[in-house]
Amino acid sequence: MAEIQQGGGGGKKGGKVRAKKMSTKIDMTPMVDLAFLLLTFFMLTTTFSKPQTMEITMPEKIKDEDKPPEVNEKKVVTLILGANDKIYWYHGITDPKVEVTDFSANGIRKVLLKQNAEIPGMILLIKPGDDSRYKNMVDILDEMNITNMQRYALVKITDTDKELVKESNL
């Protein structure tokens, strides 16, 4: 811990008596041990950030003999997730007019709210492109929750959709 060392004071006998200077020495080993014990304790008892998950209810797989459900073409809006955080969207299935937007509040959110007001019972088809990022998929699902969209489906992108995206980039 701490100790005081006494050293011999001058060697003269009969001279003035002076106070002896004492040096102190502090042993720091217990303090270092305590610091490492506390560091280890707090590292082992700390809760790290827990992963956040999003629950998605997936439909049952369609058997080969069953046909997919038929929907009214006028109620379908297709969202194609493209490169550079762009969203290509169009209304209907045949002869679509492709428009481009982004993930901002004035982008896809405004489009979804407007289309939902104009088309009662709207069905959204979300088609992630090959060059879109995983973040884009999470963002579009967040927008579905924010805008309270109830009917949407994740669908594979078709060659026709790829051509539409390519034509709208020109």
Q: Is residue 158 part of a domain?
A: yes
Q: Is residue 58 part of a domain?
A: no
Number of structural domains, the chain? 1
Helix H or strand E segment including 141: helix 134-146
Q: Is residue 43 part of a domain?
A: no
**pLDDT tens digits along 70-124:** 777 888 888 989 888 889 988 887 777 888 888 888 888 898 889 888 888 888 8
Quick one: pLDDT band at residue 2, thresholds 50, 70, 90? low
- Structural domain boundaries, residue 113: 73-168
Q: Is residue 117 part of a domain?
A: yes
Q: Is residue 159 part of a domain?
A: yes
Which runs of E-coded beta strand occur in 10-151? 22-26, 76-81, 86-91, 99-102, 123-128
Q: Is residue 77 part of a domain?
A: yes
Q: Is residue 30 part of a domain?
A: no
CATH at 103: 3.30.420.140
Q: Is residue 156 part of a domain?
A: yes
**pLDDT tens digits along 121-138:** 888 889 998 888 999 899
Contact 123, 153 (CB under 8 A): yes
